[in-house]
Amino acid sequence: MLLSNFGLLYGVEPAQLNEWFHAGYVDAYHGVTTPNVVEMGVFGAGVFATKPYAASANYVNRMSDYCSGCPYYHTKARGEGACPFNALYWAFLDCNEDPLRSNHRMGLVYAHLDDKRGEELEAIRERAAEVREMAERGEL
């Protein structure tokens, strides 16, 4: 779920992520990865998933104990040390507003995004760009 979530927020090509799973895991069969990675994970086909299951650090922190030992701040979306998932999450919603805002299951998250418009969203966009640069340099 975490790997697919990163792929979704980062904007990877769904078929390439599927191939990556096949290369990395001996039990990654198409019957398992295609529905779970391509469809549910990265909303690649839009056949049976009714919305993208994008998650920020809030969800990761709620569902695991990973954040307690992490050098990133799971509560921050911008600025130094902010969790990469948070900036990428809001940037994903921001970038995909046209196709997603009208989805009735996305109404609440877009209301939250609207609350961030202005200086905060600009800072989040900057952090998301920084995170992408870090990922390209292999520093995430």
Contact partners, residue 109, CB within 8 Å, separation at least 6: 93
Query: What 8-state DSSP symbol labels residue 101?
Result: T
**113 near ligand SF4, rule: CB under 6 A:** no
**72 near ligand SF4, rule: CB under 6 A:** yes
The correct pick among 9, 60, 93, 131 for binding ligand SF4 (CB under 6 A) is 60
Tell me the HSE value of 84 on the side-chain side, using a 13 A CA sphere.
17
Cβ-closest position to ligand SF4: 70
User: Binding pattern to ligand SF4, positions 84-103, x when CB under 6 A?
Assistant: xx------------------
Residue 48: which of 66, 35, 60 has the closest Cα?
Answer: 35
Count of residues that bind ligand SF4 according to CB under 6 A: 11
